[in-house]
């Protein structure tokens, strides 16, 4: 199968309702009597991503009573929360572009951009509250705590070459997989799915999120600059150690290129480190680890009834580990 995010089949039974999520995000970006905020929101929400998280929320909602009027706000809320974290990330990283488009902080000052992210968090909270489900609201809040503490952890360990693989997995669990988990679990909860299926969706989504982030970290080394919309090696340049660079450190304890890069922060050192990763078996090994998480996600699917939605969840796993951008 050769699916892509542009393939109409990728999101299966929830493909159409994803358009309702887009409509909801579009409505959010129109703020009465505040044209400046409307402009800011249109720019950050208009950079349409893969909508993978909202799709998982909707798919999770098929295992109980599927109510679009409650699931669509939840899915939009998850996407809004995700986009808000990107807005704050870009302020922190002083990023000029994301997916090839200008970032909010490169257009406005940091001040309005930080507040734009806050506004989006608040709006996401408002949307999730419209589900009327306290359990999902608490899941949402707990997830935002994990996202933020995962990012703090990442920032505080920047340029620290003693960073460990264990810390890496815990960090990406917090900053990426927890939001995927909240999407799948949240959709299942809102639909009133049985507890064991809620747990299966959580387990599936968390492990899919882990695989997703590892592939992201691989693509930062192997990806095509034009397709990714950001320079190769940008994580390393910002002092963030990911799976490939941690494996590189592990196997060259003396004089490894990452340590040299962190000490001198020179572009030539960056190229040396990128080449060292690419010319080794590190990216293959990283893919193996991503596939390990994919397999755990796949195992979790066994706990769900055999529906079209479950087939779509299985297809998404394949997409996540084979994507090239």
Contact residues for its own copies, defined by CB under 8 A: 31, 34, 36-37, 40, 85, 88, 91-93, 108-112, 114-119, 121-123, 125-126, 129-130, 132, 134, 137-138, 140-145, 147-149, 151-153, 155-156
What CA–CA distance (Å, rounded) separates 128 from 118?
A: 15
CA 104 vs. chain centroid, Å, equals 19
Q: How far is the CB of 290 from its own copies (least distance, A)?
A: 26
Q: How far is the CB of 183 from its own copies (least distance, A)?
A: 16
**CA distances from residue 32 to 26, 28, 258 in whole angstroms, order as listed:** 13, 10, 49
The smaller minimum CB distance to its own copies, of residues 183 and 309, is found at 183
Selection from 158, 238, 170, 241 nearest residue 210 by Cα: 170
Q: How far is the CB of 134 from its own copies (least distance, A)?
A: 6
DSSP 174: I
What the block records as the tokens of 166 is 């264990």
What CA–CA distance (Å, rounded) separates 94 from 104?
A: 10
The smaller minimum CB distance to its own copies, of residues 18 and 128, is found at 128
Burial pattern 85-98, b for ≥16 Cβ within 10 A else e, equals: bbbbbbbebebeeb
**CA distances from residue 93 to 106, 119, 283, 284 in whole angstroms, order as listed:** 11, 20, 25, 28
User: Please, is 280 exposed, middle or buried when counting C-beta atoms within 10 Å of its C-beta (0-12, 13-18, 19+)?
Assistant: middle
Q: What is the DSSP string of 251-278?
A: H--SS-HHHHHHHH--HHHHHHHHHHHH
Using an 8 Å Cβ cutoff, are 61 and 190 in contact?
yes
Q: How far is the CB of 106 from its own copies (least distance, A)?
A: 15
């Amino acid at each position: 199968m050769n699916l892509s995010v542009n393939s109409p089949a990728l999101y299966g039974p929830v493909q159409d309702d994803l358009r309702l999520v887009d409509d909801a995000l579009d409505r959010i970006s129109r703020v009465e009597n505040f044209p400046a905020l409307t402009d800011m929101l249109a720019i950050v929400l208009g950079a349409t991503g893969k909508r993978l998280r909202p799709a998982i929320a909707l798919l999770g909602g098929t295992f109980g009573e599927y109510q679009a009027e409650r699931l669509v706000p939840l899915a939009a809320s998850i996407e809004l929360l995700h986009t808000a974290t990107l807005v704050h990330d870009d302020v922190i990283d002083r990023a000029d572009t994301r997916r090839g488009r200008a970032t909010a902080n490169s257009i406005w000052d940091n001040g309005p951009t930080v507040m734009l992210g806050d506004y989006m968090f608040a709006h996401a909270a408002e949307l999730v509250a419209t589900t009327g489900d306290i359990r999902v609201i608490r899941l949402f809040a707990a997830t935002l705590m994990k996202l933020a503490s995962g990012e703090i952890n990442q920032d505080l360990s920047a340029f620290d070459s003693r960073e460990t693989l264990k810390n890496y997995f815990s960090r990406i669990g917090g900053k990426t997989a927890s939001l995927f988990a909240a999407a799948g679990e949240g959709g299942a909860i809102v639909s009133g799915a049985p507890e064991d299926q809620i747990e299966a969706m959580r387990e599936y989504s968390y492990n899919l999120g882990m695989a997703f982030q590892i592939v992201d970290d691989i693509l930062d080394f192997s990806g095509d600059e034009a397709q990714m919309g950001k320079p190769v090696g940008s994580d390393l340049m910002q002092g963030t150690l990911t799976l490939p660079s941690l494996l590189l450190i592990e196997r060259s304890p003396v004089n490894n290129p990452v340590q040299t890069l962190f000490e001198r922060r020179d572009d030539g050192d960056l190229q040396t480190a990128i080449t060292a990763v690419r010319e080794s078996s590190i990216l293959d090994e990283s893919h193996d680890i991503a596939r390990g998480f994919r397999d755990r996600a796949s195992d979790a699917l066994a706990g769900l009834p055999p529906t079209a939605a479950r087939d779509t969840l299985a297809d998404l796993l394949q997409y996540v580990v084979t994507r090239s951008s």
